[in-house]
Amino acid sequence: TGVIQPLAKLSAYLHKRDVLLHSDCVQTFAKIPVGVDELGADALSVSSHKVYGPKGVGAVYIRPGVNWKPVYPGTLHENGLKSGTVNVPGIGAFITAAESTINRMDAVYLKYQALRARFLEGAKTRELPVSLAVPDSANSHVLPHIIGCFFHSFEGQYTMLECNRRGICISTGSACSAGYHEPSNTMKALLIPRELALQFIRISFGCDTTSEHVDQLLDVFEDMMHEKGDHRIDRRIKTYGS
């Protein structure tokens, strides 16, 4: 959904109960500032491909003093953290990509905010039945480059296929759940009814996304609505003709 979780509050709550907090920060790394001291996280993980580096490379931060055990006993690589030969070229490429992305983080953030506003305003102007899974408000903090929403009247899988047919890539959830056609655990946790949860789509912006791309996506949605209306008209004509 793009919601930014209040990790500082969560970590403080958990630490009072001697519970460690690990956070998956792949979507926030190089998108917004991530300070381990401010967040209070005991561990966090980031991934290379989210900052335009090669796939299959990542990094984990573990706060000094936190005890951990290797997944596979007897591991020698990376101080016993992970087995297998270290991917030096991949790690080097990851570092280079991360530095490049972080150096333009503020400018790209403003760009994502503008693209998000363009999509939401365009959907409203065109009277498209689009609503946010987590509405924007003073109490919700979201990443501007992720729009989790419902395109009402259409299942997310159908919307995704129609967009793909026209050269636009969106998803119906995170990449981790690709191929899973039931409502996600996130939708269930938000207590979204199943029929509505199946209409969920996830739109993500990248550094190469332009306002023209956003308009093309809105065009597809508008075409889908017109095609749906034409289909209803055709059915009525056939019914009256018979």
**Catalytic residue chosen out of the listed positions 149, 163, 169, 176:** 176
Note whether 149 and 116 are within 8 A (CB).
Answer: no
The structure tokens listed for 161 are 């296929």
Distance CA 70, CA 60 (A): 13
Whether residue 176 lies in the annotated active site: yes
Residues near 3 by beta carbon (within 8 Å), at least 6 away in sequence: 134, 140, 141, 142
Catalytic residues: 176
